[in-house]
Amino acid sequence: MPRILALDGVSEEGITILRDASFEVDIRPAQKPAELAAIIGDYDGLIVRSPTKVTAEAIEKAGKLKVIGRAGAGTDNVDKDAATKRGIIVMNVPGGNTISTCEHTFALMFALCRNVPAAHQSMMEGRWDRKKFNGTELAGKTIGIVGAGRIGGAVAKRAQAFEMKVLVFDPILTKLKAEALGVELVSIDELIERSDFITIHAPKSEKTNDLIRAEHFAKMKPNCRIVNCARGGIVNEQDLANALREKKIAGAALDVYTSEPLESNPFLGLDNIVTTPHLAASTDEAQLTVSVDIAKQIVDYLTTGAVVNAVNVPSMDAETAKQLQPSLVLAERLGKFVSQYMKGRPTALQIAYDGELGVTDTYPITAAILTGFLSPLVESVNAVSAPHLLKEYGIEFSETRGAAHPNYAFQIRVKAVTDQESHEIAGTLFNGKEPRICGIDGTRVDVELVSGMVVCTNEDKPMVLGRIALTLGEAGVNIANLALGRKAAGNHATTVINIDGTMDRSVLETLRKVPHVVEARFVQV
List the catalytic residues: 231, 260, 278
By the 10 Å C-beta count (0-12 exposed, 13-18 middle, 19+ buried), 308 is classed as: middle
At residue 299, what is the residue type?
V
Burial class (CB in 10 A: 0-12, 13-18, 19+), 39: middle
Count the helix, strand and coil residues of the chain and give each as a percent rounded to the nearest 5. Answer: 35, 25, 40
Residues 6+ apart with CB under 8 A from 41: 61, 62, 63, 64, 65
The Cα 234–Cα 198 span in angstroms is 13
As a whole number of angstroms, the distance between CA 335 and CA 412 comes to: 10
Among 43, 38, 31, residue whose Cα is nearest residue 5: 43
Are β-strands 434-440 and 443-448 bridged in parallel, bridged antiparallel, or unpaired?
antiparallel
Euclidean distance between the first and the last CA atom of the chain, given in angstroms as a whole number: 38
Note whether 64 and 44 are within 8 A (CB).
yes
Calpha distance 64→5 (Å, rounded): 12
